[in-house]
Amino acid sequence: MNASLLFQQYGNSLIYALGTAMLSTLVAVPTGYAMARWKSVWMKALFWCCVVLLFLPFQVTMLPEYVLLDFLHLLDTRLAILIPGMVSPLPILILWMGNKQVPDEFEDAFCLESSSLFFYFRFILLPNLRGVIAAAFSICFLLNWNLVDPALIFLEDRRLWPLSLTLLEQEGATQLYYGALDMVPVVLLLGMILATTWQWRFRKMYGILKRIRKDMKPR
Amino acid sequence: MRRKGGKLTFRQQMRLTALPGMLGVGFLYLLPGCALFYYASINNVFQKRFVGLENLLDILSNSYFLLALKNTAVLLAAALALVLLLAILLVLPNAFFGWRTEGVAIVLLIPLFTPSVISVELLQNVGGGLPSRWQLLLLFVWRNAGAILLLLSVGMARMEKDMLEAARLDGANRRQLFVYMQFPMLTLYIGVGAVFLVMQFFGIFREAYLLFGTSFPPDEVYLLQHYMHNHFLRLNYPYLAAAAILFTAFLVAVIWVVRVLTTRFIKYRHFIGCEYKMSEGGRGR
């Protein structure tokens, strides 16, 4: 196995994980908002569809997806992973929960001033949902990083495989080496999350210290 | 209904935001899902003769399908109980001594994101002699305990401290605080954790495949996913489609039952927890 193929597969893994995470979060933000605010039969149906889809194993959706991709002539391309991953129920439900936490009064107050949904999203909703969106994105990324099943069924070409699929074929030291390589982004992301939480704690402590010093200053 | 100048009102724009999700779910899942009904009603892929419900009836009397169904139910219940119990045990120090458990949880989260091959190799070195059911359960616990622990410790951190303080002033000890106040307040997080676990359990096919090397494992861990995977490989689409439809039907039935039970439970919740009513100015007492 040569190095260029390895790097290509590493890049594929990144494309699949980042692409599905970004696309599904992009779809989930407006959908979650609509699901939390619009009280109608359609949204109820969509919600229960999402709940059922969340639990369905890949083996159930395999045949319909295969038929769809075959119809679109997308089998054995990168889009065969990205398009089914574009709408995934997990980020939609996470964003639905996040949107339910945002009080209705924000919307009422905003509607007194303007009726542009874009500006509502830009200035009110997205800043409030920053944490939830980041959580949905990172959960999607991490769960899609080691994807095996769809790649095994939909991709024949080795140059399109993600690294996790090649890992299955290796043995002994090579497997360990590939495994370590595969773990790098995961450890980086988890480390980043840890560092951010610690930073919050430090910032809080720093603020308290500053306030104490200010109080102690002679006036 | 449009306003002057052809602009949409805020409500109309809000309804438009539902479009991406509706279109996505419709075109990527529901419309191709109709193919399942087509494939379930033909005799095989080559002749394509219409046979109606014959495949469904065939499957329901197939001993391997029934075995797979039984195994899936048993293993799912065991896995859920094990992981939730372990996570509650690990969160106890937080409840009793006030230790923070988020850091431990994030470290325990790493197994979830290691490639499954590495986890399987580790398990074969450590517990290769165990019965195959226990091997699978151990793998599941090893992968998912961290996520549930993280969820529970976030739940503990978000709890209202004032009420606990008030109860302590009234003379409640640690055990009473945990059993009567903290645990009922954690039930929401435990529910979310259970949903996550069920989702993860249906993805366990990958680990089972790697652990036993084939998609024909010993009978005691033969899951529905194996059944469907094998029929896909044999190009036996009618049986696969019928099994998928049956599986979805079971799932919908279970979700419906759980929903009815939980709504009833939430209705009578004030006998158990009181936290919702009390947070609204004590109207519920």
Q: What is the pLDDT of residues A44-57, one digit of tens each?
A: 999 999 999 999 99
pLDDT at B125: 84
Residue carrying the six token digits 């927890």: B273
Q: Are B88 and B152 within 8 A, CB to CB?
A: yes
* CA distances (Å), origin B149, targets B79, B87, B112, B154: 15, 5, 12, 9
Contact call for residues B244 and A60 (beta carbons, < 8 A): yes
Distance of CA B197 to the CA centre of its chain: 4
Shortest CA distance from A115: residue in chain B: B10
Q: Where are the domains of chain B?
A: 10-40, 61-279
Other beta carbons within 10 Å of A38: 15
Tell me, rounded to whole angstroms, the distance of Cα B115 from its chain centroid. 20
B28 has a pLDDT exceeding 70: yes
d(CA B149, CA A139): 16
Locate tokens 């959580």: which residue?
A135
Encoding tokens for residue B117? 């091959």
Average pLDDT along chain A: 88
Give the pLDDT score at A115. Answer: 84
Judged by CB atoms closer than 8 Å, whether chains meet at A175 and B25 is answered as no
Summarize pLDDT for A195-209 with one digit per residue, the tens: 887 777 778 788 888
Q: What are the tokens at B43?
A: 């005799």
pTM: 0.85
What's the confidence (pLDDT) of residue B5?
61
Q: Is the pLDDT score of B285 beyond 60?
A: no
CA A165, CA A172: separation in Å to the nearest integer?
16
Amino acid at B127: G
Residue with tokens 């109860």: B167
| Nearest residue of B to residue A143, measured between CA atoms | B113
Choose among B19, B25, B248: nearest Cβ to A56.
Answer: B248
Name the DSSP class of B9. P
Domain B61-279, architecture per CATH: Orthogonal Bundle (1.10)
Whether residue B138 contacts residue B123, with contact meaning beta carbons closer than 8 Å, is answered with: yes
C-alpha A217/C-alpha B199 separation (Å) is 57
A85 closest CA partner among B225, B31, B28? B28
Calpha distance B207→B211 (Å, rounded) = 6
Q: Which two tokens stand for residue B112?
A: 């979830």
What digits encode the pLDDT tens for the residues B36-75? 999 998 888 888 888 888 888 988 998 999 999 999 999 9
**Across the interface, do B117 and A167 touch by the CB < 8 Å criterion?**
yes
Q: Verify whether the Cβ–Cβ distance A142 to B112 is below 8 Å.
A: yes
ipTM over the 0.85 cut-off: no
Identify from B8, B19, B22, B153 which residue to disrupt to test chain A contact, counting A C-beta atoms within 10 A and taking the largest count: B22
Q: Which residue has the tokens 């997806």?
A: A65
Q: Is residue B284 over pLDDT 50? A: no
Does the structure show a pLDDT above 90 at B211? no
Q: What is the pLDDT of residue B6?
A: 65
The pLDDT assigned to B269 comes to 58
Q: Any chain A CB within 8 A of the CB of B7?
A: yes
Per residue in A97-147, pLDDT (tens digit) is 999 989 989 988 998 888 888 999 999 999 999 989 999 998 899 888 888
CA pair distance B229, A54, nearest whole angstrom: 19
Quick count: other Cβ atoms within 10 Å of Cβ B114?
Answer: 18
Q: What percent of chain B has pLDDT over 90?
A: 34
- Where residue A65 falls among pLDDT bands split at 50, 70, 90? very high
Give CA–CA dist B80/A122, Å, rounded: 40
- Residue of A21 and B101 predicted with greater confidence: A21
Q: Which residues of B touch A86 (CB under 8 A)?
A: 24, 28
Whether B18 and A30 lie within 8 Å, measured CB to CB: yes
Please report, for chain A, how many H helices and E strands are present, in that order.
Answer: 12, 0
pLDDT at B200 over 80: yes
Q: If DSSP codes are grouped into helix, strand and coil, which group holds residue A115?
A: coil
The arithmetic mean of pLDDT across residues B263-278, rounded, is 57
Tokens representing A19?
Answer: 């692409």
What pLDDT, on the 0 to 100 scale, is given for residue A99? 93
Please compute the mean of the pLDDT values over residues B251-271 and round it to a whole number.
Answer: 80
Closest-CA residue to B229 (of A206, A59, A180, A88):
A59
CB B103 within 8 A of CB A194: yes
Task: Give me the pLDDT at residue A219, please.
Answer: 63
> Chain B window 95-134: which residues touch A at a Cβ cutoff of 8 Å?
102-103, 106, 109-110, 112-118, 121
- For residue A1, what pLDDT is reported? 59
B28 vs A28: CB contact, 8 Å cut-off?
A: no
pLDDT band at B18 (very low <50, low <70, confident <90, very high): very high
Give the type of residue at A162: P
CA nearest neighbour of B227 among A45, A183, A57, A135: A57
Q: Are B248 and A52 in contact (CB under 8 A)?
A: yes
Note whether B22 contacts A117, CB cutoff 8 Å.
no
How much is the pLDDT for A167? Answer: 82
Residue B281 pLDDT class (50, 70, 90 cuts)? very low
Distance from CA of B47 to the nearest CA of A (A): 18
Look at chain B and count its residues.
285
Structure tokens at A82: 């990205």
Neighbours of A169 (CB within 10 A): 12
How many angstroms separate the first and last alpha carbons of chain B? 47
Cβ contacts of B195 on chain A, cutoff 8 Å: 54
pLDDT at A217: 76
Contact indicator for A20, A89 with CB cutoff of 8 Å? no
